Amino acid sequence: MIVRIVQMTFREDKVQEFVTLFEERKQQIRCFQGCSHLELWQDNSQSNVFFTYSIWDSQSDLDHYRFSAFFKDTWGRTKALFVAPPNAWSVTPKS
């Protein structure tokens, strides 16, 4: 199992555009082979900072998603809204 956490900081005027994009695409992401969970989190103190939290069955499932045309289109649209570079972590729960 792989947990993927991605931190994204958006331009203030683009937050709603991102939320709309996520809402439109979240079900398709959840339906990718190997994705067993997906959540969107918003920071409590900085309303333009978001995190995606997803759980994947394997690294190969995550890679299949990350190299798909769907991801490339979604990520391209998302990156255009950033005010700062994203941070991403892939971790394996140990307990």
Q: In the CATH scheme, what is the code of domain 2-91? A: 3.30.70.100
Q: Which of 76, 29, 77, 74 is nearest to 56 (CA)?
A: 29
15-25: per-residue pLDDT in tens? 999 999 999 99
49-73: per-residue pLDDT in tens? 999 999 999 999 999 999 999 999 9
Q: Is the pLDDT of residue 95 over 90?
A: no
Q: Which of 2, 1, 7, 3 is nearest to 86 (CA)?
A: 7
